[in-house]
Structure 1
């Protein structure tokens, strides 16, 4: 009897239950450069109260990737901050859900050489998809690597537009 109980206990642990969710396959989202960038923008965007798919967000990045925002500190000095994808989720994830946030790419300049790519991606940010005017604009400098199977984001280095530093016309859509 003890053997049967032990075997049943082992089976219960070893065999996945039907209620366990299978790991999602995100591989199709990173096959192309365009798909990877579109997924990046879509995964952080959502209405107020909408949870983000942080597993998909993290899937986009190479394990040692960095997210590097720039801006002025309280004394007005320009600074950079280095974050891992996990750091970004911890520092910004709650804010994105509580406030609503949509980041929309409005222009892209791509340079590739072999298996590396550098993209200057001009963005506009909105609190809601229905907003007519962005509350912020800027440029994401995105570096990517293709390992032969998929694109990996290596770094995202960004700067918001300011009065002192407007986005140059060649990084804006043609009107």
Structure 2
């Protein structure tokens, strides 16, 4: 009986690992976002979030500054967690896809374009839209994000126009 239980546990663990390894690039991108979601005052599972990225991931934010100048910010994963974590804890955070992602793969590389919208809580009003662009590589059979860039929409570049121009 002890060996049967051990065998069942081993098969369960192998099955769970195989399921994690079979995530598509789009699923990795979506799951990384879901791991950030939550109500204000709720600490995020940062280890789960980290698991979707390569250790040396580069995160870039493109936006317009308050004076209208284009601005680029580059962050490490830990810098992002430090800056975003405090904000998500204070305000809550829900990011969700506006449309289906556009995914291109070649061998062990992939790019996922995902238009998004953000709310502080599920019932609240939308506070921002934009595009997340994920660059992924396959490491030991698992897709991992190696670059993440996002750009918030602005009055000259709404997300809906981007989507329509692709069809």
TM-score (normalised: structure 1): 0.76
**Structure 2 CA distance for partners of 1:26 and 1:85, relative to 1, 3 Å:** farther
| CA-CA distance at 1:56 after TM superposition | 1.0
**Structure 2 CA distance for partners of 1:39 and 1:27, relative to 1, 3 Å:** farther
**Structure 2 CA distance for partners of 1:101 and 1:143, relative to 1, 3 Å:** same
- Please give the alpha-carbon distance, in whole angstroms, between the structure 1 residues aligned to 2:154 and 2:81: 25
Q: How many residues align?
A: 147
Equivalent position to 2:85, from 57, 75, 93: 93
Whether the aligned pair in 1 keeps the contact of 2:29 and 2:112 (CA below 8 Å) is no
What stretches of structure 1 of length at least 5 have no aligned partner? 1-24
- Please give the alpha-carbon distance, in whole angstroms, between the structure 1 residues aligned to 2:64 and 2:162: 24
| CA-CA distance at 1:91 after TM superposition | 0.9
**Structure 2 CA distance for partners of 1:32 and 1:83, relative to 1, 3 Å:** same
Q: Considering only CA atoms, is the larger Rg found in Structure 1 or Structure 2?
A: 1
What stretches of structure 2 of length at least 5 have no aligned partner? 1-15
Whether the aligned pair in 2 keeps the contact of 1:36 and 1:151 (CA below 8 Å) is yes
1:84 is aligned to 2:76: yes
Corresponding residue for 1:32? 23
SS of equivalent residue, structure 2 residue 126: coil
